[in-house]
Amino acid sequence: MKLYFDSLSKLESFTLNIDCYVDKVECPICSKRGQLVSHGYLYRWVGGILRVVGKRILCAARRGRNGCGSTQSLYIKTDLPRFHYTVVHVCHFFMCLVFLKKSVAESYQLATNCYDSRNAYRWVSKAKNKFSQYRHFLERQSLESTDFTNVASSQLRVLMATIRGLFDKTPCFSPENYHTITQTPFI
């Protein structure tokens, strides 16, 4: 099932008309078709404003339906699930890291205006976990990791070269477009 949508209106159109897709949309948990119903919005505080970042659908087990009762979250492509910051902050962070070659702490501070950079290392760790997906996305194009001689860890040098490669070698690359193309979170 599609996880990321280009806009809220496209997401709403999908969930509100979900009954029209009886033959197409199946529950990712129980695989039953025709049991999914729209189940409210997902909200998140962004820059002091409570914003809609996605919607939930329910595999309904009541009112004539015999689904499994599980819920599934669907997102607008600008959202990173379970992140305090937005995809814009995360994109800014990685651009400072791989283009300006700032340290992890400096990049985080520039992107978020936050001086406590512990969370930045969590972002880097999440990116490490996505490494093979990034390489797959790049179709294994060769990359120059010697660019990052300022970085002590060879594993991190390769990761940074790979993230830089995503921006350099993919036309119109952005984490949002990554969401749309791969249907998985950027980090």
Residues in contact with Zn ion by the rule CB under 5 A: 27, 29-30, 59, 67-68
Residue with smaller CB distance to Zn ion, 36 or 160: 36
The distance of closest approach from Cβ of residue 59 to Zn ion in the complex, given in angstroms and rounded to an integer, is 3
Q: Which residues of 35-59 are buried (b: 16+ CB within 10 A; e: fewer)?
A: bbbbbeebebebeeeebebbbebbb
Measured CA to CA, the distance from residue 156 to residue 161 in angstroms comes to: 8
Smallest distance, Å, CB 32 to Zn ion?
5
Here the tokens at position 139 are: 């179709």
Shortest distance in whole angstroms from residue 5 CB to Zn ion: 20
Q: Which CB atom, from 71 or from 154, has the smaller least distance to Zn ion?
A: 71
DSSP state of 56: E
Longest CA–CA separation in the chain, Å: 63
Nearer to Zn ion, 72 or 174 (CB): 72
C-alpha 149/C-alpha 103 separation (Å) is 12
Could you give phi then psi for residue 55, rounded to 5 degrees?
-140, 160
CB of 61 to Zn ion, least distance (A): 8
State which residue, 67 or 165, has the beta carbon closest to Zn ion: 67
